[in-house]
A and B are shown apart, each in its own frame.
Chain A
Amino acid sequence: MMGRLLTRCYARLLRLYPRTFAAEFGEEMAAVFSQTLQGVEAAGLAPAQRRMAMARLFLKETWDLPAALVSARRREPKLGSSGALANPGGGASAPGGWVGQGDPWARALLGAVPFLLFGLAHLIQGWVELGTPGGEELARYAPAAVYFVAALGLGIGWLRGFPRWSIAYLGMALYFGWYFGNGRYYGVVYGWRAWIPLLVVALAALLLTRSLRPLGELLRGAWHDWTRLSFLLYALVLPLVTIVFFDSDWGAGALAGLVFDTLLLAAGAVVYLRLSRALHRALALQIPMFSLCLRYQLLGGWYPAEQLAAGRPVNLVALLLFLLSWGGLMFLPGLVGLLRRGLSSPPSR
């Protein structure tokens, strides 16, 4: 059973290799790894020793993985032929395959993970704030764990040329960089040090790829599919909005609201990644945005909710303008799409 589990995990690791390398050697590598595990199983060791030996084999594979990836990428053909960066976002109906096709369910759910973990981390903190015994250490380190996961996801996305799902990890990593670097966190002022995990990921990705092409892919992806910028804002700004709203008061109702907001953000991410048309994608991000802002306006301590509390009537125009300004944020990157369309349209005669 452990052998089958490790073989499946190893198959996941093989996905990190460049596509041409994986296509040429992936099946063999998986078969050899499986045979090696079976050799351990057949060695007649005691169960505990057998498990340890199998685990050591898998750890050796992961330990050697960075160097193996560097070696594999060195022999990759240039971008645009058959390398791992040739199809960063899925879909093939447009140059580079950035638009025209939604992501499969697995990638869509992968893109929702940062939002779910974000909610879970702050939910834990909220439970501790409410006086739930135990869990103080968990509350302190939960956001750091999410930061780690976001940075790791960013690194994997970087190696694969920034597919759309990885934009969520980029946004969330940037959010947590700000989160830890801004002010005190449990009495510690991290300042610029809060950005070290991102710097480490960037350095590791640059060393592994030995190329700036993934960053070029990130920019090209945004140029050909402006909703990627919207998604980046979604992953960076909305968690920030959520936390600013809940920063002042941790009540039981606020925790329920956090659960709702987390699920809403995650669902928005899944829908965004599953859709194929740019306008539909942008709208998928707008719905959670509007919903959150509307709820915070009516229930939270922001203007014009402050007016409600003060007994003054709500200025609907101000409310509408507020919602439109926040909603417009998601559509702002559409200017990139308009610019690209303007530059690519033939001159009129």
Chain B
Amino acid sequence: MPAGKGQVEELIPLREPTTLILLALSTGKKHGYAILKDVGMLSQGRISLSTGTLYGALARLLDQGVIQKSAGDDGQDPEDDGAAGGRARKYYELTPHGRRLLEAELGRMEALLAAARRELGVAGR
């Protein structure tokens, strides 16, 4: 059951892998392999998701209405090295609700970072 507008607050704080998945999707629809690579890049290699973890998260996000499946692009993905062999890929993209959720989570992190800088600034005097 897709989550409604008022349920954004209920879903945050998000776990870091979930935030990274949403960040990866924030730039456009992607398939699973591309999400996996983007998460690794965004975390500077610190987080490497297994396919089981990734698709568990994608399934949960689909159920929550945060992401949705999308029609694939015609032609081959530039990142694709031909491994799919012409099989139809499944793409995922953020829903408007998902975008609001990501913005709320980033806002929460920014607020936390600002508070931390203030405290550290006070402690450093």
- A residues neighboring B (CB under 8 Å): 21, 24-25, 28-29, 31-36, 38-39, 42, 60-61, 63-65, 67-69, 71-72, 75
Q: Chain B residues with Cβ under 8 A from A21's Cβ?
A: 59
Q: Is the CB–CB distance between A60 and B83 below 8 Å?
A: no
A35 cross-chain contacts in B, Cβ below 8 A: 33, 81, 83-84
When the two chains form their complex, are residues B36 and A24 in contact, meaning their CB atoms are under 8 A apart? no
B81 x A68 contact (CB < 8 A): no
| CB-based contact A28/B55 at 8 Å | yes
Bound together, the chains give a CA A317 to CA B6 distance in angstroms of 81
Quick one: which of B31-71 are within 8 Å of A by CB? 31-33, 36, 48, 50-60, 63
| A19 nearest CB across to chain B (Å) | 14
Show 19 A/B contacts (Cβ-Cβ < 8 Å), sorted by A.
A24-B59, A25-B55, A25-B58, A28-B90, A31-B32, A31-B33, A31-B84, A31-B87, A38-B81, A38-B83, A39-B81, A61-B52, A64-B50, A64-B52, A68-B52, A71-B60, A72-B59, A75-B60, A75-B63
- Contact A68 B90, CB 8 Å, known A33-B51, A35-B84, A38-B83: no
C-alpha spacing A171/B96, complex, angstroms: 54
> Are A71 and B56 in contact, with the CB atoms below 8 A?
yes
Given contacts A21-B59, A36-B36, A71-B60, A31 and B52 within 8 Å (CB-CB)? no
User: Given A71-B59, A75-B59, A75-B60, are A32 and B36 also a contact pair (CB < 8 Å)?
Assistant: yes
- In the A-B complex, the 8 residue pairs with the closest CB atoms: A68-B52, A71-B56, A64-B50, A35-B83, A32-B32, A29-B51, A25-B55, A35-B33
A29 touches B63 (CB 8 A): no
A32–B54 touching, CB < 8 Å: yes
Given the complex of chains A and B, what is the CA–CA distance between A193 and B101 in angstroms?
A: 50
* Assembly CA distance A271 to B65 (angstroms): 49
Interface of B is mostly: helix
Interchain CB contact (< 8 A) of A65 among B52, B59, B60 = B52
Contact A36 B53 (CB under 8 A): no
Identify the closest chain B residue to A69 (Cβ).
Answer: B52
A36 to B58, CA, bound (A): 18
**What 1/0 mask marks residues of chain B from 102 to 114 whose CB sits below 8 Å from any chain A CB?**
0000000000000
B55: chain A residues within 8 A (beta carbon):
25, 28-29, 68
Q: Tell me how many residue pairs across A and B have CB atoms closer than 8 Å.
A: 65
- Number of B positions contacting A (CB below 8 A): 23
* Residue of B with least CB distance to A56: B48
The distance from the CB of B59 to the nearest CB of chain A, in whole angstroms, is 6
Taking CB as reference atom, which chain A residue is nearest B48? Answer: A60
CB distance from B36 to the nearest CB of A (A): 6
Would A25 and B33 be within 8 Å (CB), given that A34-B83, A36-B51, A65-B52 are in contact? no
Residues of A within 8 A of B54 (CB): 32
Chain B proximity of A255: nearest CB distance (Å): 45
Residue of A nearest to B58 (CB): A25
Q: How far is the CB of B84 from chain A (nearest CB, A)?
A: 6
Q: Knowing that A25-B55, A31-B84, A68-B55 are A-B contacts, what are 14 other residue pairs whose CB atoms are under 8 Å apart, sorted by A's residue number?
A: A24-B59, A25-B59, A29-B51, A31-B33, A32-B51, A35-B84, A36-B51, A42-B81, A64-B52, A67-B53, A68-B52, A71-B56, A72-B56, A75-B60
Do residues B51 and A61 form an inter-chain contact, with CB atoms below 8 A?
A: yes
Closest A residue by C-beta to B52 = A68
- How distant is the Cα of A83 from the Cα of B87 in the complex, in angstroms? 27
A68: nearest chain-B partner, CB-CB? B52
Residue of A nearest to B50 (CB): A64
CA distance A71 to B50 in the complex (A): 13
Question: What A residues does B50 contact at CB under 8 A?
Answer: 60-61, 63-64, 68
Could you tell me the distance in whole angstroms from the C-beta of A267 to the nearest C-beta in chain B? Answer: 38
Q: A36-B51, A64-B50, A75-B63 are in contact. Are A31 and B56 (CB under 8 A)?
A: no
Q: Give the residue name and chain of the B residue nearest to A13 (CB).
A: B52
Complex alpha-carbon distance, A68 and B51, angstroms: 9
CB neighbours of A34 from chain B (8 A): 83
Complexed CA–CA distance, A65 and B87 (Å):
26
Beyond A35-B33, A36-B33, A75-B60, whether A29 also contacts B83 by CB under 8 A is: no
